[in-house]
Amino acid sequence: MYTHVLGLPRIGAQRELKKAIEAYWKGNISLEQLEQTGKNIRQQNLYLQKEMNFDFITVGDFSYYDQVLDMSMTLGAIPKRFQTSSTKSEMDTYFAMARGTQNAKAMEMTKWFDTNYHYIVPEFYKGQQFSLNSNKIIVELKEAKNSGFANLKPILIGPLTYLYLGKSQDKNFDKWSLIDPIIDIYIELLIKISPYCEWIQIDEPILVLNLPSKIKELFIKAYKKIKKHLPSNNKILLATYFEDILDNKDTVLSLPIDGLHLDLIRGKKQLNYLHEFKNTFLSLGIINGRNIWKANLNKILDDIKNILSSKSLDIERIMLSTSCSLLHVPIDLEYEKKLSLELKSWMSFAKQKCEELKILKQALEGKDVSKILEENQKTIDSRQKSTLRTITNIQDKLSQINTKMFQRQSSYKERNKKQRSILNLPLFPTTTIGSFPQTPEIRKTRLLYKKGELNEQEYKQKIKKFIDEVIQRQEELGLDVFVHGEPERNDMVEYFGQQLKGYCSTENGWVQSYGTRCVKPPIIYGDIERPSPMTIEWITYAQSKTTKPVKGMLTGPITMLCWSFVRDDQPRKDTAFQLALAIREEVKDLEKANIKVIQIDEPALREGLPLKQNKWSEYLSWAINAFKLATSGVKDETQIHTHMCYSDFEDIIEWIAKMDADVISIEASRSKMELLEVFKEFNYPNEIGPGIYDIHSPRVPSIEEIKELLELALKVIPKEKLWVNPDCGLKTREWPETLASLKNMVSAAKMLREKY
C-alpha cells in the first residue's frame, strides 16, 4: 500500500509567496529573491512529505500564480499581445498574462470547477503553434532530486482538461482541432520528465463531468498516443476529483493508464465499481481535501478493509490519498492559537490531513497506532455530542418559513415605478460594487483594533474617517449611487462570519483564491443566528454624510455558504436557510434605518452548482429560495441589488431571473459584453449593470473604450435598464488608478446620456 497527496498548498505557511510576489511587482525585491522564496516553499513541502513517509513525493504542484497558466507557459500558448517586448523575463511575461499591462489586457480568469480557486483561461487561436517553452517541471524535479528526494511523482494538468478549460478566441474555430499539436508537446515533455520518476500524475478532472462523446473519443486517442511514446519505465496515474467519473466509466476503462485516482469523498458511488478498475493501481481519495474536519479514522479503516475484501482488491496496488489537492484547505492548524480547544480538536488542515494519511497506512500495515486512533475517536464523539452545534429554537424558525417569505410584495414593474420616484436617478446610473481600496492605513487600523491597541471608540472614529473620505471622493467623481467602501471588512464572508453565531474564524487559515489573493474562509460549525445588527452603524453613518443614496452592502446566503467551510453534519440547504434568515433580519433593519438601496452579493451562486448537470435544478431551487428569503422581507420602494462576478449565465438565466433582484451587476468586461447575450435572449426583465472595466488589473480604461463597451451593452439591454459600474469591488486596487478609472467611467456615462 502506498500513500501520496494530489498536491499541497503553495502559498507558504505565513503567505510568504504572496508577500514575495507582491514585493517583486512593486520592485522591492529582485527576481532572484522571489525565486528563492519559491524554492523555500517547495523544499518545505518536500520535507513535509518525507516526514509523513509518503511513498511518492509530489512535485510540480507549486506555482507562482496558477497551474493552468503554468501549463500555458509550458506549451508556449502565449497570446501574441504578450510576445511584444523581448526584454521581458519569462516571469514578467507570465505575470503580464495573469494581470495585464497598460497595453495588453489580462487573460480571462475563471473558477476552477466548483471551488473558489481561479485559473487563467488558456486562449486558443486558429493555426496556433505550440512549443515546449518552459522547463518549470524539469527544474523542480531536478531541484527535488538534488536535495536527495526519491520516488518523485511529478504532476501535470492533462491535455484534455487543459483544452477543455481554454477558450477559442476566433469565431467558428474549433479549439479541439488543436489536440494533436498539443499532445505532441506533452509527449516531448513527458520524455524529458521520464528519467526523473516512475509515476507521472496527470490530472484530468473533466472526467467527472458529463462529456460529449467526441471528447470521450479524443481521450482514448490522446492517451493511446501518449502511451505509445512514453518510455516503458514510466507509469501514468490519471487523477480525477470533485465528483465521480461514472458517466465516463467506459472511457476511463479503455484508457491505457497504469493507475487511477478517484475522489471517494464526493464520489462515494464509485465504491461500488472499484473492482472494475482492478487491472490498474487504484489511488483512493479518502481524506477530504475540501473541508477542515478531522477524519473519522476508525471508520475509514473499516471502510478500506471492507473495500479491499469485498472487491478483492490487491493491497499492493492500492494508494491512499486525499480526495483532491490540498490547495483548497489551509496549511497548518498549529498556527491557530485563539480557536477554542474544543473546536480546534474537531479540525484538520493540510498538514494534519497528511498525518491522517500516515496513520491510516501505519494502521493498515499492522503498526500499533491504537493510542492515536482512540484519541481520534474521542474527538469525533465529542463533536457529535457537543451542544456548541445547536441553537434550540432554530428548528422552529426553519419550520415557520413559508413560500410567501420568498416573494416581494409586488411585481418588478410595480416596484420599479415606486423606486424611480423615490431615487430619481439619471439614465445610465453610475455606481460601484462596494469596496474601495483597502489602503495600508485601513489594514493597520483593523489590525491595531484586533490587537487591542485601539479601543472601540478610537477604531470607530478612524473607520468613519475612511468613510468620510470615500463619500467625499464619490461626490467629486459624480457617481449616482454611493457605497460606504467596506473599510471595516477584511473579507466579505469572514466579516459576517465573525458576527454570526455558529461561525468561527481562523487566524491563519489562508487559502489561495487567485494569484496572490488569499482568503480565510470562516468555519460554520453549528446553527446560525444573528445576535445583533451587523452593518447598520456604518451604512447609516455613510448615508448621513450625503444626499445621494448609499447602498447597504451584505453578502448573500449562498456566497456565505460557498466561501465558508461548512458543517458536514447537516445538508447544505439547511445551513443556507439558516444563513438566509439571519441576512433577512439585517435587510429589514437596513430598511428600517432608511436605507433605500440594498445590495446582497452572490458572486458564488454559480460556483455552487453541482458539477453534474442533473443535480442542478435541485441545488438552484433551494439556492434561489435562500436568496429570496434573505431579500424579500422589504417594501416595494426598497431597491434590491445583487452582484455576481465570474459567472457565465447561459444555462441558468431563468434562475437568475427568478431571483428577482431589482438590479443585478455582473462581470462582463473581460468577455467584451458577450456575457450579456443570454440576458437579451431570455428577455431578462429587470435592470442590469454589466461591469465595464476589469478591476483585477491596474490598467485604467479610456473613456472611448468604456463608451464602446456601453454601446455594445446597449445593443442588448434597453437603455432605461442599463447601469454603469466596474466588474467588481475595488478593494485590491490603489487609489490613483481607481480614481482615474471611475472618472473615465462617469464621463463615459455622461456622454452617453447626451446621446440617448
- Calpha distance 505→495 (Å, rounded): 9
- Which helix (H) or strand (E) is 600 found in, with range? strand 597-601
Count of residues of this chain found to bind ligand GLN when the rule CB under 6 A is applied: 13
- Calpha distance 189→133 (Å, rounded): 10
Q: Binding segment for ligand GLN among 278-286, 398-406, 428-436, 509-517 (CB under 6 A)?
A: 428-436
Beta partners for 597? 551, 639
- Calpha distance 398→726 (Å, rounded): 37
Minimum Å gap between C-beta 329 and Zn ion is 23
434 binds, among ligand GLN, Zn ion, none (CB under 5 to 8 A by kind): ligand GLN
- Calpha distance 221→255 (Å, rounded): 9
Q: Binding segment for ligand GLN among 78-86, 279-287, 611-619, 726-734 (CB under 6 A)?
A: 726-734
DSSP one-letter code for 545: T
- What's the gap between Cα 461 and its chain centre? 34
Q: Binding segment for ligand GLN among 307-315, 324-332, 727-735, 739-747 (CB under 6 A)?
A: 727-735
Minimum Å gap between C-beta 600 and ligand GLN is 10
Q: Which is nearer to ligand GLN, 321 or 647 (CB)?
A: 647
Q: Binding ligand GLN by CB under 6 A: which of 57, 107, 324, 553?
A: 553
Q: How far is CA 378 from CA 86, 294, 340, in A?
A: 61, 11, 17
Tell me: is residue 127 an annotated ligand-binding position. no
Q: Which is nearer to ligand GLN, 489 or 707 (CB)?
A: 489
* Segment 481 to 510, residues that bind ligand GLN, using CB under 6 A: 486, 492
Minimum Å gap between C-beta 551 and ligand GLN is 9
Minimum Å gap between C-beta 728 and Zn ion is 3
- Calpha distance 321→54 (Å, rounded): 10
553 binds, among ligand GLN, Zn ion, none (CB under 5 to 8 A by kind): ligand GLN
The residues binding Zn ion (CB under 5 A) are: 603, 645, 728
Minimum Å gap between C-beta 559 and ligand GLN is 8
Q: Binding ligand GLN by CB under 6 A: which of 218, 359, 620, 728?
A: 728
Q: Binding ligand GLN by CB under 6 A: which of 556, 608, 701, 729?
A: 729
Q: Which is nearer to ligand GLN, 6 or 433 (CB)?
A: 433
Tell me: is residue 108 an annotated ligand-binding position. no
Tell how strand 167-168 and strand 235-239 pair up: unpaired
- Calpha distance 94→303 (Å, rounded): 44
Tell me: is residue 455 an annotated ligand-binding position. no
Q: Which is nearer to ligand GLN, 644 or 710 (CB)?
A: 644
Please give the span between the terminal C-alpha atoms of the chain, in angstroms, as a whole number.
Answer: 71
Minimum Å gap between C-beta 16 and Zn ion is 27
Q: Which is nearer to Zn ion, 111 or 328 (CB)?
A: 111
Q: Are 688 and 663 in contact (CB under 8 A)?
A: yes
Beta partners for 503? 524
Tell me: is residue 538 an annotated ligand-binding position. no
Beta partners for 584? none
Q: Rule CB under 6 A: is residue 520 a binding residue for ligand GLN?
A: no
Tell me: is residue 214 an annotated ligand-binding position. no
Q: Rule CB under 6 A: is residue 226 a binding residue for ligand GLN?
A: no
CB-closest chain residue to ligand GLN = 729
* Segment 432 to 451, residues that bind ligand GLN, using CB under 6 A: 433-435
The backbone torsions φ and ψ at residue 263, rounded to the nearest 5 degrees and listed phi first, read -85, 105
Tell me: is residue 513 an annotated ligand-binding position. no
DSSP for 719-745, written as a single string: GGGB-BB-SS--TTS-HHHHHHHHHHH
Q: Rule CB under 6 A: is residue 603 a binding residue for ligand GLN?
A: yes
Tell me: is residue 383 an annotated ligand-binding position. no
Q: Is 696 a catalytic residue?
A: yes
- What's the gap between Cα 528 and its chain centre? 23
Pull the grid cell for residue 130.
505550440
Tell me: is residue 518 an annotated ligand-binding position. yes
Minimum Å gap between C-beta 608 and ligand GLN is 14
Q: Rule CB under 6 A: is residue 598 a binding residue for ligand GLN?
A: no
Pull the grid cell for residue 699.
490598467
Tell me: is residue 433 an annotated ligand-binding position. yes
Q: For the beta carbon of residue 630, count every other beta carbon within 10 angstroms.
A: 30
Tell me: is residue 683 an annotated ligand-binding position. no
SS3 555: strand
Q: How many helices (H) and strands (E) does the chain have?
A: 26, 21
Q: Rule CB under 6 A: is residue 328 a binding residue for ligand GLN?
A: no
Tell how strand 123-124 and strand 2-3 pair up: unpaired
Q: What are the CB-based long-range contacts (under 8 Å, 24+) for 110-113?
A: 110/646, 110/648, 111/606, 111/607, 111/646, 112/68, 113/205, 113/242, 113/611
Q: Which residues are annotated as a binding site?
A: 15-18, 111, 116, 433-435, 486, 517-518, 563, 601, 607, 643, 645, 667, 728
Q: Active-site residues: which are they?
A: 696
Binding site for ligand GLN (CB under 6 A): 433-435, 486, 492, 553, 601, 603, 643, 645, 728-729, 731
